[in-house]
């Protein structure tokens, strides 16, 4: 194992994200620790730590919780690891060390770790990959181990998980005596890849490839496995293996189907492998699936998985706003995938989707205080319907304190605390800037250290200032490549005050600046943040004749708190210049709100009227209103009320 | 018991309805008879006739089927009765007689009839009114008995059901020793009223009133009853007695809630009682509920009950077009109720709703051949979604052969075959014409017989010719009151060619013609049938910015068969004069279709495009199309495809 080669040296200074990281540190991580230890009154116990104690033989009792309960501990540890990168915290680190020790003690002699099977049925290990999440849980523990090693330099957790990976490798693989199985919930693939990156153990890369390649082959492993355990439910999820993307060999898949989190975790691993191996067939499959998701199945908020049934992708262009599922974890997974696609190719569209996910449908999952969470992120809410209609029951008009199936809050915690990992990437002699947020960093480019500081008030303002200082104090030639966001039609760039021509140096959404950088060189990027009225492809039935408001990467919504009820009667003007954006310090922790003069139908007078008539109802009752829109991610922070992203166009 | 006083002497000659009656006679009644006798291969057995044989001790085996299986036999008999009014059929009548005899033999000594309890648990009769449909099934048998008596003059079935009613009366009522229960599914109330009308036995009227008045009182009967049978499910349907409208005493109810068929059957009985007794408080409650349904919860097709969960009313103005429930039976029940409201008061709006139900959301439940049926009648269908999305699973893009819970097909059969009962009503010295359809009838008005013939090509043309001939051959003074449909802004009327002033003689939607009628007097009513563009109250979110096409009482839809896919991209002109209506003999058994020049967005070119952009997608791809609309009731008779009632407005 090499040095802590991936160790991140990007210190966040960003106003927007630092606040979110602090909320996670202050609220989410401590709260989740209590939850894992069943110290939250009046909630379903988690039992997750207790499960490890029982598995380690240090406590008595039975396993309790979901079959994937171990992953909650893993995600907590991963978030703790990232948190320690931002802020040293001896007490927290010591707590994490003790949990890692406990995991080690719960590990079986042969390397296997899974409290459910260890406690309940050790003889039945690896007999139900389809449903039982053993590989999934070990995958999350591997991710946590890698993060903890990168944050602290401590190897113990990576050693534990390497032993687990070695055990898995002894059980699964192309060799005749090994099982040809793969997980019912993907995660191990990308985790093995991360473990490979820090350990450089090629077997982990091969094993990740094996899981990807074996998936969906005939004879179908899940059928064979079910027959062997005499499981009469020969098919899972209504007979459709599409639910877990094993309906076809991965390389033959062309459309995103099934459980969206499973899907994007798998696509992430595919991108990892493609970037590493250059596997051309897998690259084509990965890019096909990317195109399908982004061009046919993604909400403007980067929400994906529009169906509650199966928490799944629906069909092309089926993106209902009111009964969407759009799980927080799925958008987080989309960010994971987008980030990895940037390793496959430096294309602006990957960064655009990453940015769309980060500023919209992921962080909408948490309230401003880090105390309440959305599992489901709809684009249109009328609270009464969520109480009355069965089809809306999964949609909550306000965030909930915690979940029994607690996947989203800890997933958000690890995304937010690792946000600094998403900003840059280094390739040979190039430094790529994918995201704009304040930070002070030391990068290695072309074999030399370079200090890069970024100053910006993004996402509220489009000015970004980069200061470049080779650590040697001498000039250093390398290419700086900066993403030109898809939402920005015409940015400007200057170096040390001198204009740099973007048009001549742009390729696939990145502007390439190849020069000999002198200490203190300053790059000023200016991305005009106009209010934009976004149209959906008319194939999207639900958005036909509507527009959404976007400014920079931030998608807006209107809320009852600002605009009263009956938001469906609002029609907005079609000239972007008639919208006014202004930063409001005191609103929702400080946001840019957007106002315009709109029309709204006065409905109060109609309560006694007929339902239908052969004439307009509205003529007499249309009134002009000043409409106020707020960032979508910040909705439902002021009590319950209507919300809507897509708005009628004024004629 | 008096003469067959209700016996209908209205012979249908109407082209539109006679065809539907014949389809029911030719297909539905024989098919259902086979179904009742388990003679349809490859379908779930009904066992309904066999259940009666077992209950009668004439066959062995166990009860099989739904707890309300008896009602299928009842509805078949009721439809047979109406069918015999149109067409004598000795074989069918003899078959019906034999079934009635069987029912008589299955009746218990004390009058009780219910094959489920008789076969399975006679000692448990009347212990679960909430769930077990005993009163419901006997109610349907009573309705059938009344119809059979009116059609054939044969008293046996009425005698059987009177004995059953006497038994019920001995079990339920205000007297201390009797049960204070009422049915979990209303039906007995309106059935007892019908039985009262033919038998003139006041106890049946009182018993119907008792059931209505007792409903929803505290302490709640269903809670008490459940405790007595130690049923742990203390509450039914998610703890809400609104499901069966026993959440409040009936007189205190202000909004239609719960299972929509239960609701409108109850409201029908309430109207019966109000019309008979003049009960003022009950009248106010009935009218309040009417207003709520018609002004807040009814689709333009007269579909009601917009939620699949509970087959229930939702909340005011919540009328989604694509996931509507709008059960065929609920619209049929609405027709029952509207017809009875016309006994409470002669108001055109009741006739308007009756007509809306008859020409739209009820008969849409059956295909043109009488072989396939819709349980659910959506106003917007994209077939792929009904296969993919869980929230759409109850919506079928094509009609189904039959149903295990076979309520809708026989309910349609009895509605269609009894349509001639809906046309007229006689009050003292007034003859009311509620509906326009061809018939040749002998009515009793002011104590004298009057022959009335109606000739019309309704609903395709608005000309109606009435010929009035007192049977005495002499002049006879009475008032003829004709409904002026709400959809018609300005009708014209002439008597023997002389113009009659409508404006001076109209009241609440009826034009009153008080004169001494001479044999052969001719009334010509002309109701101009313009194409109308109907707007929904803007409180209906789903129809905001849309219009529906209506002509006369018929609501139109557009189908993929005529207009290609992607119907959501169609926008229609707002000038009704630009629409052309024309009768097409060969289309859908002969309908008036409506055409216009509309705009449609060309989507084929967009398949590779982005999902979102800051500009219109449509500018380059809008094309002009000739749109063709067909009557809603006739949709899905040409294979599977998209359908849509509410259309975007052209700007």
Q: Which of A137, A407, A488, A557 does the annotation list as catalytic?
A: A407
**For A607, how many CA atoms within 13 A lie in the half-sphere containing its CB?**
3
Give the pLDDT confidence score for residue A1 in this predicted structure: 42
Cβ atoms B637, B588 nearer than 8 A = yes
Encode pLDDT of B303-327 as tens digits.
999 999 899 999 999 999 999 999 9
SS (H, E, C) A173-230: CCCCCCECCCCCCCCHHHHHHHHHHHHCCHHHHHHHHHHHHHCCCCCCHHHHHHHHCC
SS3 A558: strand
% of chain B exceeding 70 in pLDDT = 96
A389: nearest CB among B307, B538, B606: B307
Interface residue of A389, A567, A570, A643 to substitute, partner B, most B CBs within 10 Å: A389
Interface residue of A378, A533, A538 to substitute, partner B, most B CBs within 10 Å: A538
Average pLDDT over residues B372-379: 95
**CA gap B501, B60 in Å, rounded:** 69
Contacts of A239 (CB under 8 A, 6+ apart): none
Check pLDDT > 50 for residue A403. yes
Residue whose C-alpha is closest to residue A195's, from A226, A239, A150, A235: A150
Check pLDDT > 60 for residue A331. yes
Q: Contact A295/B601, CB-based, under 8 Å?
A: no
Give the pLDDT confidence score for residue B234 in this predicted structure: 58
* Burial classification of residue A398, based on how many CB atoms lie within 10 Å of its CB (0-12 exposed, 13-18 middle, 19 or more buried): middle
B295: nearest CB among A610, A615, A616: A610
Contacts of B114 (CB under 8 A, 6+ apart): B70, B125, B134, B137, B138
Give the pLDDT confidence score for residue B359 in this predicted structure: 98
Average pLDDT over residues B373-382: 96
Q: Which residue has the higher pLDDT, B489 or B546?
A: B546
Nearest CA in chain A to B383: A315
A614: nearest CB among B318, B534, B609: B534
Encode pLDDT of A432-450 as tens digits.
999 999 999 999 999 999 9
Q: At what angle do helices A408-417 and A29-36 cross, to 10 degrees?
A: 140
Residue B2 pLDDT level (bands cut at 50, 70, 90): very low
A648: nearest CB among B309, B544, B608: B544
Residue whose C-alpha is closest to residue A245's, from A211, A205, A276, A271: A211
**What amino acid positions of B are annotated as catalytic residues?**
311, 407
> Over the range A109-145, which residues count as b (16 or more CB within 10 Å of their CB) and which as e?
eebbbbbbbbbeeeeebbbbbbebbbbbbbbbbbbbb
Q: Contact B606/A538, CB-based, under 8 Å?
A: yes
**Mean pLDDT across chain B, nearest whole number?**
94
Q: Contact A390/B545, CB-based, under 8 Å?
A: no
Residues of B within 8 A of A295 (CB-CB) are: 608-611
Q: Contact A544/B648, CB-based, under 8 Å?
A: yes
For residue B478, the distance in angstroms to the closest alpha carbon of chain A comes to 34
Which DSSP symbol is given to A47? -
A538: nearest CB among B533, B545, B617: B617
Residue A466 pLDDT level (bands cut at 50, 70, 90): very high
Check pLDDT > 70 for residue B53. yes
Dihedral over Cα of A479, A484, A489, A493: its sign: negative
Residue B7 pLDDT level (bands cut at 50, 70, 90): very low
Q: Contact A544/B298, CB-based, under 8 Å?
A: no
The residues pairing with B641 across neighbouring beta strands, listed in sequence order, are none
Residue A5 pLDDT level (bands cut at 50, 70, 90): very low
* Burial classification of residue B47, based on how many CB atoms lie within 10 Å of its CB (0-12 exposed, 13-18 middle, 19 or more buried): buried
Encode pLDDT of A607-643 as tens digits.
677 899 998 886 557 889 999 999 999 999 999 999 9
DSSP class per residue in B572-632: E-S-GGG-EEEEETTSTTSEEEEEEEEEEE--GGGTTS-SEESS-SSGGGEEEEEEEEEEG
Average pLDDT over residues A571-589: 97
Give the pLDDT confidence score for residue A456 in this predicted structure: 98
Nearest CA in chain A to B388: A314
Nearest CA in chain A to B541: A568
Average pLDDT over residues A458-480: 96
Residues of B within 8 A of A607 (CB-CB) are: 539
Encode pLDDT of B263-286 as tens digits.
999 999 999 999 999 999 999 999
| Domain ranges, ordered by start, for chain A | 10-422, 424-526, 531-649
**CA gap A527, A461 in Å, rounded:** 8
Interface residue of A292, A601, A614 to substitute, partner B, most B CBs within 10 Å: A614
SS (H, E, C) B316-347: CCCCCCCCCCCEHHHHHHHHHHHHHHHHHCCC
Encode pLDDT of B462-473 as tens digits.
999 999 999 999
Residue A404 pLDDT level (bands cut at 50, 70, 90): low
Q: Which of A50, A143, A225, A311 does the annotation list as catalytic?
A: A311
% of chain A exceeding 90 in pLDDT = 89
Give the pLDDT confidence score for residue B240 in this predicted structure: 81
A610: nearest CB among B537, B576, B648: B537
Residue B45 pLDDT level (bands cut at 50, 70, 90): confident
For residue B316, the distance in angstroms to the closest alpha carbon of chain A comes to 10
Distances in whole angstroms, Cα of residue A5 to Cα of each of A8, A163, A393, B350: 9, 21, 47, 80
Please report which helix (H) or strand (E) contains residue A53, including its range.
helix A48-55
Residues of B within 8 A of A548 (CB-CB) are: 612
Q: Contact A390/B538, CB-based, under 8 Å?
A: no
Of the candidate ranges A319-333, B179-193, B570-584, B591-605, the one whose mean pLDDT is the lowest: B591-605
Per CATH, the number for B10-422 is 1.50.10.10
Q: Contact B533/A294, CB-based, under 8 Å?
A: no
Cβ atoms A338, A298 nearer than 8 A = no
Per CATH, the number for A424-526 is 2.60.40
Encode pLDDT of B378-391 as tens digits.
999 999 999 899 88
Angle at A625 between CA A622 and CA A628, to 5 degrees: 140
Q: Strand A531-536 and strand A521-526: pairing? A: unpaired
Give the pLDDT confidence score for residue A8 in this predicted structure: 47
Residue A41 pLDDT level (bands cut at 50, 70, 90): confident
Q: Strand A570-572 and strand B506-507: pairing? A: unpaired
Give the pLDDT confidence score for residue A619 in this predicted structure: 55
Encode pLDDT of A50-62 as tens digits.
999 999 999 999 9
**CA gap A116, B251 in Å, rounded:** 57
Q: Out of 2.60.40.1180, 2.60.40.10, 3.90.45.10, 3.40.190.180, which CATH number does the structure's domain B430-526 have?
A: 2.60.40.1180
B300: nearest CB among A532, A535, A612: A612
Nearest CA in chain A to B390: A309
Q: Contact A616/B535, CB-based, under 8 Å?
A: yes
Give the pLDDT confidence score for residue B3 in this predicted structure: 40
**Mean pLDDT across chain A, nearest whole number?**
94
Average pLDDT over residues B75-79: 97
Residues of A within 8 A of B540 (CB-CB) are: 611
% of chain A exceeding 70 in pLDDT = 96
Q: Name residue, tokens 């033919």.
A: B198
Residues of A within 8 A of B295 (CB-CB) are: 608-611
Is A557 assigned a catalytic role? no
Check pLDDT > 80 for residue A233. no
Q: Contact B603/A295, CB-based, under 8 Å?
A: no
ipTM: 0.92
Whether B10-422 and B430-526 share one fold: the answer is no
Residues of A within 8 A of B533 (CB-CB) are: 614
Give the pLDDT confidence score for residue B607 in this predicted structure: 63
Residue B620 pLDDT level (bands cut at 50, 70, 90): low
Residues of B within 8 A of A611 (CB-CB) are: 294-296, 298, 300, 536-537, 540
Give the pLDDT confidence score for residue B43 in this predicted structure: 80
Check pLDDT > 90 for residue B541. yes
Nearest CA in chain B to A380: B541
**For A369, how many CA atoms within 13 A lie in the half-sphere containing its CB?**
9
Give the pLDDT confidence score for residue B154 in this predicted structure: 96
Of the candidate ranges A51-55, A398-402, B567-571, the one whose mean pLDDT is the lowest: A398-402
Q: Contact B315/A384, CB-based, under 8 Å?
A: yes
Nearest CA in chain A to B545: A648
Q: Contact A535/B390, CB-based, under 8 Å?
A: no
Give the pLDDT confidence score for residue A6 in this predicted structure: 38
Nearest CA in chain B to A542: B568
Q: Which residue has the higher pLDDT, A401 or B47?
A: B47
Residues of A within 8 A of B382 (CB-CB) are: 541
Q: At what angle do helices B156-171 and B202-214 cross, to 10 degrees?
A: 50
Give the pLDDT confidence score for residue A3 in this predicted structure: 40
Residues of B within 8 A of A307 (CB-CB) are: 388-391
Residues of A within 8 A of B487 (CB-CB) are: 614
Q: Contact B614/A390, CB-based, under 8 Å?
A: no
Residue whose C-alpha is closest to residue A391's, from A502, A289, A308, A297: A308
Check pLDDT > 80 for residue A402. no
Nearest CA in chain A to B609: A295
Residue A232 pLDDT level (bands cut at 50, 70, 90): confident
Give the pLDDT confidence score for residue B603 in this predicted structure: 79
Give the pLDDT confidence score for residue A348 in this predicted structure: 97
């Amino acid at each position: 194992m090499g040095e802590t080669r991936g160790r991140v040296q990007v210190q966040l200074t960003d106003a927007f994200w630092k606040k979110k990281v602090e909320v996670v540190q202050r609220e989410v991580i401590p709260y989740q620790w209590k939850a894992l230890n069943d110290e939250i009154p009046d909630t379903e116990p988690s039992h997750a730590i207790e499960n490890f104690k029982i598995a380690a033989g240090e406590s008595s009792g039975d396993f309790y919780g979901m079959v994937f309960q171990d992953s909650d501990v893993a995600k907590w540890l991963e978030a703790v690891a990232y948190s320690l990168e931002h802020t040293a915290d001896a007490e927290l680190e010591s707590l994490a060390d003790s949990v890692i020790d406990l995991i080690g003690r719960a590990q079986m002699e042969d390397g296997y770790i899974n409290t459910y099977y260890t406690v309940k049925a050790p003889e039945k290990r690896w007999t139900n990959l389809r449903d039982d999440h053993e590989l999934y849980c070990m995958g999350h523990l591997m991710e946590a181990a890698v993060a903890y090693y990168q944050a602290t330099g401590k190897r113990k957790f990576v050693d534990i998980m390497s032993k687990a990976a070695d055990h898995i490798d002894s059980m699964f693989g192309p060799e005749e005596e090994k099982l040809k199985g793969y997980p019912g919930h993907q995660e191990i693939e990308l985790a093995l890849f991360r473990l490979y990156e820090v350990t450089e153990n090629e077997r982990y890369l091969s094993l990740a490839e094996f899981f990807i390649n074996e998936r969906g082959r005939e004879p179908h492993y899940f059928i064979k496995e079910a027959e062997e355990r005499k499981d009469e439910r020969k098919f899972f999820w209504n007979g459709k293996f599409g639910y877990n993307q094993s309906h076809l060999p991965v390389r033959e898949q062309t459309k995103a189907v099934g459980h969206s989190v499973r899907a994007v975790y798998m696509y992430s691993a595919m991108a990892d492998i493609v970037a590493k191996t250059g596997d051309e067939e897998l690259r084509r499959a990965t890019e096909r699936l990317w195109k399908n998701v982004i061009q046919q199945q993604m909400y403007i908020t980067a929400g994906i998985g529009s169906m509650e049934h199966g928490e799944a992708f629906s069909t092309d262009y089926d993106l209902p706003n009111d009964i969407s599922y759009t799980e927080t974890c799925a958008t987080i997974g989309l960010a994971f995938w987008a980030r990895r696609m940037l390793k496959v190719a430096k294309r602006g569209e990957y960064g655009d989707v990453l940015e769309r996910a980060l500023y919209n449908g992921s962080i909408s999952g948490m309230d401003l205080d880090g105390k309440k969470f959305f599992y489901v992120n709809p684009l249109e809410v009328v609270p009464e319907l969520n109480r009355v209609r069965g089809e809306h029951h999964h949609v909550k008009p306000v965030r909930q304190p915690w979940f029994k199936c607690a996947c989203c809050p800890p997933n958000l915690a690890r995304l937010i605390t690792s946000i600094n990992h998403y900003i840059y990437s280094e390739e040979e002699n190039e430094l790529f800037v994918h995201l704009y947020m304040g930070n002070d960093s030391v990068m290695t480019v072309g074999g030399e250290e370079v200090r890069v500081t970024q100053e910006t008030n993004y996402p509220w303002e489009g000015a970004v200032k980069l200061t470049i200082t080779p650590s040697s104090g001498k000039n250093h030639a390398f290419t700086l490549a900066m993403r030109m966001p898809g939402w920005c039609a015409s940015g400007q760039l200057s170096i040390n005050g001198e204009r740099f021509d973007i048009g001549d140096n742009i390729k696939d959404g990145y502007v390439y600046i190849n020069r000999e950088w002198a200490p203190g060189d300053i790059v000023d990027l200016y991305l005009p943040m106009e209010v934009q009225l976004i149209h959906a492809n008319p194939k999207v039935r639900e958005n036909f004749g509507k527009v959404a408001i976007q400014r920079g990467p931030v998608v807006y919504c209107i809320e009852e708190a600002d605009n009263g009820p009956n938001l469906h009667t609002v029609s907005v003007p079609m000239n972007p210049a008639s919208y006014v954006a202004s930063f409001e310090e005191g609103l929702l922790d400080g946001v840019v709100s957007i106002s315009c003069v709109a029309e709204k139908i006065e409905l109060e007078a109609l309560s006694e009227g007929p339902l239908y008539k052969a004439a307009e109802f509205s003529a007499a009752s249309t009134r002009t209103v000043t409409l106020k829109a707020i960032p979508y991610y910040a909705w439902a922070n002021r009590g319950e009320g209507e919300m809507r992203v897509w708005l009628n166009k004024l004629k």
